[in-house]
Every structure is written in structure tokens, then in C-alpha cells.
A and B are shown apart, each in its own frame.
Chain A
Amino acid sequence: MSALLQTEKLTKRYGALVVTDDVSLEVQAGELHAIIGPNGAGKTTLINQLSGELAPNSGSVRFAGKDVTATGINGRARQGLLRSYQITSVFDEFTVRENATLAALGTQRHAFSFWTSLLGDSKALAAANEGIAAAGLAAHADIPASALGYGERRQLELAMALAARPRFLLLDEPMAGMSVQESAAVVTLLQSLKRKYTILLVEHDMNAVFALADRISVLVYGKLLVTGTPEEIRNNAEVRAIYLGEEEVVA
């Protein structure tokens, strides 16, 4: 089993505050790996260092065997490391299809094309349509993103990541702000993606995490406390202590 993504002694400091503390994490190819932890544990900062938005103070990030610590977001995206955002971030003026096609084109080629329409690029369009279908947005493909509802915008985020033909999906709280039904739909969707893509999922929704994850890592105060299967984590005394009173771990 090979690690598709791994970090080694990743550290990030803001002045005297250590937000990411010597984190050595690895995600196996093909697995769905979840990161959980109480609020303020530094999950988003960690994700930002994995996607390339934030540079660590020390430590390294390796993707598919290559050191990508110095590579920027667009470089990592082009290598297949795609991410979705906790606070939905899409191109509001463009339609769903245009959003997805841009994502498909940007990660596969370049955009120095000055005459043929973006949607006229058959390869990119095909990838975009696949991503849109997989994310369940096929019925809304020609609607501008600004007209979508909240849940649909989250789906668009996912569609864009999928259209880019990723090898690795970094999902930052995909279920944030969703109702019970909407969350259930996302869980089903992620189930369908499980074997096809390697997924690193940051989530608070414990039902979803325990239903989906192959392995779970627990982050507390920037430090990686423990990594294990859902069973191991569920039975881990330290983890229960952290979460006691915060969330009921569903059996």
C-alpha cells in the first residue's frame, strides 16, 4: 500500500502560537481518510498547507512521491491534488457548466486560447459534464452559479473538483450548514466516489465520518493525536475524553 499524500513534521507558527505542531500524516491511495478534532484544532490551517495556499514554517508535503512543499496551489491542482472550500467559492457569473469546464481545462492544459469558445473544447467539456453528473447537478448545468441554492453551490464545488480529473480530493467540511437530508445525500455521493478517488475529508459531522472513513486522524491543538480505523478511534480513551460533552459518538 502506497501513500499518495504524506506530510513529514509539518509545522506552522503564527508568532508564538503553534497552529500546526509537527504533523506527520499519510493518506493511502484509494482510501477515504477523515480528519476530526475539536474547534480550533487547526484543521483548516492544515488543509491550507496541503492544498498549497499556505506555506509551512518547516516540514514537507509529498504527493505521489514528489516533494510539493514549494509548489503553489495551481501547480498542485495540475498534479491532481484538488480541494473544495468550506466557505463556498465559485465563479458566480458563470454557469455551472462554465465553472466546471474552466476547472477541467485549467488543470489539464492552459488557457492561452483566444478564439474558440471554452465550451467548445471537447475534452474539457466532456470531463466537466462527467464531474457535473457525478455531483448530481446535471439538471442545473446551464444555470449561473449565483442563482443556485446553498446546497447546490456545495455540489458545484465538488463538480469542479471532479471535473479536474483529480487523483486526490481534499474536502473541507463539505457538509457544513446542511440539513439532515442534504447531509445524507452528500454521504451517498461520497460513498459513490470512494474507490475511484483518494479522499481526505475534514468534517464535524460524526455520523458521516464514521459511515465513510477507512481511517480517521484526530487533530488536537495542532498535534496529531492518533490515527486509526473508526473502531479504534471510537474505543480510544483519549479521544473519548476530548469529545465527551461535545458530541455523542454514534455507535
Chain B
Amino acid sequence: MRMSLRTGDLVPVTLLAGLALLPFAAAAADEPFFTAFFARVLIYAIAATALNVALGLGGLVSLGHALFLGLGMYSVALPAHFGIANGWLHLAACVASCGVVGLLTGYVSLRTSGIAFIMITLAFAQMGYFLVVSLKQFGGDDGMAIAAASEFFGFSLGSGNAVYAVAFCVLVALTVWIARLRSAPFGMTLRAGRQNARRVASVGLALPRYQLAAYVLSAVLCGLAGMLLANLSAYASPSSMSWMVSGELIVMVVLGGMGSVFGPFLGAIAFLGIEEVLKAFTEHWMAVFGLLILGVALLGKAGIAGLLARSNRSISAASKGVKAPLLAESGVRP
């Protein structure tokens, strides 16, 4: 098992360690707001990580991932509405709905590429949005309050601390897995497809199959984030399914560093952090934010992880006085 720690990784790892301690500090200082806020950060980091599988690794620009976030939310809200609080059932509903919808929409969308692909994922997400909005008996436009939190063998996700703990564990587990996935045959195939799709067939691999699998995987993981979000806010609303949210997820992935391991986590922190800071300065923070995003797009896409990687030196190599190759290890596009 080859997982060398590099200097560029120290920042996100330290942040994660800090976040592990945060709820205790927040409880001690009697400021539950911080726990709730960072729980949201963790949840969006999970969603961004999910998107990273399709977008960062596979190069599939999906503008429709908010759909899966919403499906995850409603797979808690709907059963809860009918009095079902069993977390395992919520989970099954989430995996099933996101899996099936991901498979169907992914299959149709992957019949195209480029601009058409982007637009079709957007259109499908919008379809889901309108469908939910039109279901007036489940709150429609306003959404619905969630009557009961998910319960797993007596452990309830009803408190901010519980959601925080689960979200943290899920994020760490996912991050470790993505680190492995990048270098595993599945991840390598996706990354190869992003570099040179034509060549993938000539090494014997049917790329569309792997892209579809990545899309479905990405959908299900995003749904998990939705489940956690529903439990955190005790509310499910179509507004979290709007394409704006899909766009925000893309910004997080790119801001953090596409295809990198810690990118989505860093991106989520940066995005939500900047949002909070700007909100404190002006009520028209979105205008500034929009221009910032434009700036990020114009300036280029190595992301925060890319910036950190520039200072990379494999720790063992440093001790031998040898400079390790930058690009191959960091996996960030030059």
C-alpha cells in the first residue's frame, strides 16, 4: 500500500484534524452554530467529492448533480412523512433512487459529449426539480419539514452533533477511498479517458462502460450527502435541487483542484468560507461572488490543491535530497 504523505497534503490533513476536534470545542464554548455550519461544510465536501469522481477523474461535466442531492434529501423526507424513521430504509431508498436515476440519465446523457452532455445533465436535473415542485402534497415549492430523523439501530441523526460525526467519518472514508481509486484500474481508466478518449479503446477498454459506472457511483455518493443534509436541516426543499447548486458544486471541485484527493474538501471550505465572509460585508455579496468565480475561470484551474502541490516534495525524497517528479505524483493537470 503506497500512500506517501507530501508537504502539500499537510494543510488539508491539518484542517481535517482541526475539524475532528471542532464539535468538542464548540460544545465547550456553547456555540452550536459552528457545529452546524461545519457540518454543512462537511456535507458539501462529500457532495463535491462525489462529483469529483465523475468530473475530476472522468472529465464528465455534469451540471445536474443537485438532482441526486435532492433525491437523497427526499429519500429521508418522504418516508419520514409516512412515519418511517428507519435509517436503513432511508439509505436503501437513497441508493436505489440515485442508482436507477443515475443509470437512466447517465445512459442517455453519455450518448452525447461535449456541450450537449453538459446541457442534457442540466435538463434532467431541471426535470427532477419541476417534478418535485409540482408535487403539491409534498410541499411543492416550499418544501417539507422532516418529521423524523434517520435512525440506525437506535442511533439517531436528529442532532447536529450526530450528523457532524457521521459526515466527518463518511468524508474521511471517502477521501481515503478516492486516494486509492485514483491509482486503481478504474480511476486510471477514467483519467485516461479524460486525456485521450480515442486511445482508451485501443488498449482494450470500453470507456463508455466505465464512464457510466463513474456517473452512477457519483450519483449515489451525492445522494448520501443529501441524506445527511436532510437530517441536518430537518427540511427538504426543491431549492437544493436547483441547477445553481449544481453549479456551486462544480465551482467547489474546480476551486479545490480537479481530480485531486483533497480538492473537493478544500474547495467546499473555501467556497462556503468566502460566502460567509462576503455575507458579513454586504447584502449584495452574490454579485462579488459571481465576479470572483468569473475570475477563477479566467485565471485557470489548478485550484488550491494545485497551488499546494507546487510546494510538494515527497518527504522521503527530501531526506535524500532528491526532488520528486511533480506532475505525475500530484495528478494535477499542468
Asked if A74 contacts B198 (CB within 8 A), the reply is no
Chain B residues, CB < 8 A from A114? 177, 180-181, 184, 186-187
B328 to chain A, nearest CB (A): 4
Q: Quick check: is A238 within 8 A (CB to CB) of the other chain?
A: no
A91-B185 in contact (CB<8A): no
Q: What mask results when residues 89 to 122 of chain A are scored 1 for a CB within 8 Å of chain B, else 0?
A: 1111111001000110111101111111111010
Residue ID in chain A nearest B190 by CB atoms: A111
**Given the complex of chains A and B, what is the CA–CA distance between A95 and B204 in angstroms?**
19
Question: Are A90 and B196 touching (Cβ within 8 A)?
Answer: yes
Contact with B along A118-151 (1 / 0, CB 8 A): 1101000000000000000000001110110000
**Interface bits B200-224 vs A (CB < 8 Å: 1, else 0):** 1111111000100100000000000
Point out the residues of chain B lying under 8 angstroms from A146, CB to CB: 327, 334
Which chain A positions have C-beta within 8 A of B279? none
B202, A118: Cβ atoms under 8 Å?
no
With A74-B202, A78-B204, A144-B328 in contact, do A112 and B185 touch (Cβ < 8 Å)?
yes
Contacts known (A89-B198, A102-B192, A118-B188); A107 close to B203, Cβ less than 8 A: yes
Knowing A91-B192, A117-B183, A118-B188, the reply to whether A106 touches B328 (Cβ < 8 A) is no
Q: Is A228 an interface residue (CB 8 A)?
A: no
State whether A77 touches B202 (Cβ < 8 A): yes
Asked if residues B205 and A93 are in contact (CB atoms below 8 Å), the reply is no
| Interface size in chain A (residues, C-beta < 8 A) | 40
B185 contacts which chain A residues (CB < 8 A)? 102, 105, 110-113, 118, 121
CB-based contact A144/B327 at 8 Å: yes
- Closest Cβ neighbor of A51 among chain B residues: B202
Q: Is the interface of B mostly helix, strand, loop or mixed?
A: helix
Contact A118 B184 (CB under 8 A): yes
**CB distance B199 to A90 under 8 Å?**
yes
A237 to chain B, nearest CB (A): 39
Most buried by A among B203, B206, B213: B203
Q: Which of A91, A105, A108 contacts B199 (CB 8 A)?
A: A91
Q: Which of A108, A111, A143 has the most CB of B within 10 A?
A: A111
- Interface code B312-334, partner A: CB below 8 Å = 1, 0 otherwise? 00000000000001011001011
A43 is an interface residue with CB less than 8 A from chain B: no
Chain A residues whose CB sits within 8 angstroms of the CB of B198 once the complex forms: 89
- A160 on the B face (CB < 8 A): yes
- Is A164 among interface residues, defined by CB-CB distance under 8 A? yes
**A251 CA to B203 CA, complexed, in Å:** 38
Q: How far is the CA of A118 from the CA of B189 in the complex (A)?
A: 10
Once A93-B328, A93-B333, A103-B204 are accepted as A-B contacts, the answer to whether A115 and B192 lie under 8 Å apart by CB is no
The verdict on A169 contacting chain B, using a C-beta distance below 8 Å, is: no
Interface residues of A in 60-95 (CB under 8 A from B): 72-74, 77-78, 82-83, 89-95
On whether the beta carbons of A112 and B213 are closer than 8 Å, the reply is yes
Known contacts A94-B188, A117-B184, A111 near B205 by CB under 8 Å: yes
Question: In the complex, what residues of A have CB within 8 A of residue B65's CB?
Answer: none
- Whether A77 and B203, one on each chain, are in contact in the complex, defined by CB atoms closer than 8 angstroms, is yes
Q: Contacts A102-B203, A106-B204 known; A111 to B188 CB distance under 8 Å? A: yes
Judged by a CB distance under 8 angstroms, whether B284 is at the interface is no
CB of B325 within 8 A of CB of A143, answer yes
**A164 pairs with B188, CB closer than 8 A:** no
Q: Provided the pairs A77-B203, A90-B199, A164-B203 are in contact, do residues A116 and B184 lie with their beta carbons within 8 angstroms?
A: yes
With A89-B198, A89-B199, A144-B327 as given contacts, are A74 and B205 in contact (CB-CB < 8 Å)?
yes
**Contact indicator A160/B203 (Cβ below 8 Å):** yes
Is B191 close to A, CB under 8 A? Answer: yes
A111 touches B202 (CB 8 A): no
- Complex Cα distance A173/B44, Å? 50
Contact pick for B191, options A74, A90, A93, CB 8 Å: A93
Are A74 and B184 closer than 8 Å at their CB atoms? Answer: no
Which among A98, A110, A146, A160 has the highest number of chain B CB atoms within 10 Å?
A110
A residues in contact with B177, CB < 8 Å = 114-115
Most buried by B among A73, A78, A103, A119: A73
Q: Which residue of A lies closest to B333 (CB)?
A: A93
**Binary CB contact string for chain B from 168 to 197 against chain A (1 if under 8 A, 0 otherwise):** 000000000100110111111101100110
Considering only CB atoms, which chain A residue lies closest to B183 in the complex?
Answer: A117
Q: Residues of A contacting B334 with CB < 8 Å?
A: 146
The answer to whether the Cβ of B2 comes within 8 Å of any Cβ in the partner chain is: yes
B residues less than 8 Å from A115 (CB atoms): 177, 180-181, 184
Residues A94 and B204 in contact, CB atoms below 8 Å apart: no
Q: How far is the CA of A187 from the CA of B116 in the complex (A)?
A: 46
**Cross-interface CB contact of A93 among B2, B186, B203, B331, cutoff 8 Å:** B331
Q: Mind listing 20 A-B residue pairs with CB under 8 Å? A: A74-B200, A74-B202, A74-B205, A74-B206, A89-B196, A91-B192, A93-B195, A94-B188, A95-B328, A98-B188, A106-B204, A111-B185, A111-B189, A115-B180, A117-B183, A118-B183, A142-B325, A144-B325, A144-B328, A160-B203
Binding site for B on A (CB under 8 A): 51, 72-74, 77-78, 82-83, 89-95, 98, 102-103, 105-108, 110-119, 121, 142-144, 146-147, 160, 164
List 9 additional A-B contacts (Cβ < 8 Å) besides A92-B196, A114-B177. Answer: A77-B201, A77-B204, A78-B204, A83-B202, A91-B196, A111-B205, A113-B184, A143-B325, A147-B325
The 10 A-B residue pairs whose C-beta atoms are closest, nearest first, are A107-B204, A106-B204, A111-B185, A106-B203, A73-B201, A77-B204, A106-B205, A103-B203, A111-B189, A113-B185
